[in-house]
A and B are shown apart, each in its own frame.
Chain A
Amino acid sequence: MKKNKPQRGFSLIEILIAIVIITIGLVALSGALVVGVTLPQKSRQQAIAKQIANNIMETIIAAKESAKTGFDTFATFNSTMPLVAGRFTGGVQNLLTPGPDGVYGTCDDGTTGVYNPVCGSLGTQLVMVDVDPGPDGKYQAPFNVDNTKLPLLNFTRQVEITDINNATKQIDVTVNYPNPLGGRDKVVLSTQITNFRLLSGS
């Protein structure tokens, strides 16, 4: 008759050691969990950045379509060359409000007041996103004082306009935003505009 093996279990100490080892392993795995946690946060930031980039591009195209400023103004402003009528600042700027002209990326961004065709200096007003209408549930003035607003503090935008030829310009909009995982990411939109318009009636 075969002899039974001794029926020894683990000792308590062995179990405890095993638990600690398992825990160490799980803690190591939690790094992956952190990524899973922050990825949605990143996509949220990315969604805001995309909307902003779209909005920037829309204002530029709308300004061209409506011809409220001349085609020549779709160029980078150059203070040393007064003959250059461009209104766009170029370069990386904070995400400022479009200013009185309603166009992002121009030299009156971040300012308030009356439209001035002559370029001054940039203001400081950042784009704010309405997060919540506040306790009154109303967004618009005069009920907007209690709105929860999220200023896009660490976002930047860059609007670059390059001439392709006399009638065509390339527009590149870049919105740069902080990645919760560290570092920064960007959304880039590009398009071209031409000076084609239907003639005005007379």
Chain B
Amino acid sequence: MANKKNFYFKKNDSGFTLIELLLSAVLLLILIGPLLAFLRAGQINRSVTVKTTDLEQNARAAMITMGRDITNAGFNFAPQFSLGSVTLVNALQGGNNILTPVIPGNNLNPVNTSNSSGSVVTNSTDQITLVYVDQTFNNGLPVTGNYNLVGPGAQFTLTSGMLTGLFPGDLIFLNRGTVFSIATVTSIAGNVITINTGDFSGLNKFGAMDPLSSLALPIAGLPVQPPILLYKFFFITFFVDQDGNLIRRELLAPPHTTIGGPNNVADARTYNCAATCYYDNIIATGIEDLQFTYSVNGAQPAVTPIDDPGAGGAATNLGAAPLYRLNDIREVNVSLKVRAADRDTVVRDKNSPGAKNGYYYRFSLDGTFGVRNLYQTNYVPDLN
């Protein structure tokens, strides 16, 4: 044994040579190196999961928020209001005061996003406005009263119910017989609501053909005129701003504290009253596209209704046959495309030359929600 010594097994006091040390280090790296690929893959996957989970949850939360308002749209309109009447739809087309539970806006809002090479792209996104009766005012029931004056400065005098919770600037819905109108409260004094022109939303119109004027006209053939019903309602719009924020905008009265009192106590919420008063709530970010399609009564295929209010709520497009009415909308289909707020720099998308600084995660989400717009079921396609 002792005679069989060789170079490698010789027992002496010398350590490794530098060459030996380097050689072993290289071997170690060669053998262990491939294992690091697993760690890298794990790192990438973790990064993907963290970013996409966040993305998906935000999108789903936004979808639920929209779904709740969509489901409420038209709530308590039925059966009191004949919102399916042709008169109202014609009024829409004429740009007059109309109210439907769902008011679509097709490709109204540009949103800036980027394509795979990093260039800015502008997408056109839809918006939707949803209307429903405010259940916190008089339990969602109408108060009744009389309409005292004709024309600007018209006064509604309460005969039954309470005006608690109604403020100047609030949106109200007035109905007598077959006449319907929306309006904005100008002022309240005691039991008298004044409706005058010059309101923040421009809704109070007293032209000869406007419903606000028609409300004051006696209904022919009735010895005793029926009272006017008054509802307070919510007016909520979902849209995407150009930075990709999905916004829930609630149209509100100007800041107020007491009925008819001075607006000298700040509301906790921040209003923007430059043009109209509203409260914006960003419910999702990174929206690349938002599209609504609508299913109308009678299980028809998804459509984009043609009564498409443009600027000022006036119809911009009378469309081609069949003419789907806004009041026929029974379901709203929402298609949401979201993108992560920032690039994932752990993962690099080699196929996208402009995205060398990282990769944007995207997620596509669809939802379908019924509308409580239950008034009309006698859907008749308009073939004009």
Contacts and interface: CB of A to CB of B under 8 A. Distances in A.
Contact of A136 (B12, B31, B53, B121): B121
A contact residues, range: 35 or more
A137 B302 contact: no
12 contacts: A12-B20, A19-B31, A23-B31, A36-B45, A68-B298, A68-B331, A115-B300, A130-B364, A140-B289, A198-B79, A198-B372, A202-B79
Given A137-B116, A140-B291, 7 more contacts: A34-B38, A36-B45, A43-B49, A102-B302, A129-B364, A130-B364, A140-B124
B370 A64 contact: yes
Contact of B368 (A27, A34, A37, A59): A59
Interface string A59-86: 1011111111100000000000000000
Interface in B291-341: 291, 295, 297-302, 330-331, 333, 337
Interface string B332-370: 010001000000000000000000000000101111111
Interface in B365-380: 365-372, 374-377
A139 B115 contact: no
Interface string A136-165: 111110000000000000000000000000
Given A8-B11, A135-B116, A66 B370 contact: yes
A200 to B, nearest CB: 5
B contact residues, range: 35 or more
A16 B24 contact: yes
Interface in A24-61: 26-27, 30, 33-34, 36-41, 43-44, 47, 51, 54-55, 58-59, 61
A9 B367 contact: no
Contacts of A63: 331, 370
Interface string A96-126: 0000111000000000001101000000000
B254 to A, nearest CB: 33
B126 to A, nearest CB: 9
Interface in A179-197: 197
Interface of B: 8-9, 11-13, 15-16, 20, 23-24, 27-28, 31-32, 35, 38-39, 41-42, 45-46, 48-49, 52-53, 56, 60, 67, 71, 78-82, 113-117, 119, 121, 123-124, 288-289, 291, 295, 297-302, 330-331, 333, 337, 362, 364-372, 374-377
A201 to B, nearest CB: 3
Contacts of B28: 19
A37 B45 contact: yes
A166 interface: no
Contacts of B114: 137
A8 B13 CA distance: 5
A167 interface: no
Contacts, number: 180
A200 B370 contact: no
Contact of A102 (B113, B115, B368, B377): B368
Interface of A: 6-9, 11-13, 15-16, 19-20, 23, 26-27, 30, 33-34, 36-41, 43-44, 47, 51, 54-55, 58-59, 61-69, 100-102, 114-115, 117, 129-140, 197-202
Contact of A55 (B11, B367, B377): B367
Given A33-B42, A34-B38, A66 B330 contact: yes
A139 B336 CA distance: 10
Contacts of B80: 201
Q: Select the residue from B27, B289, B368 with max chain A CB neighbours within 10 A.
A: B368
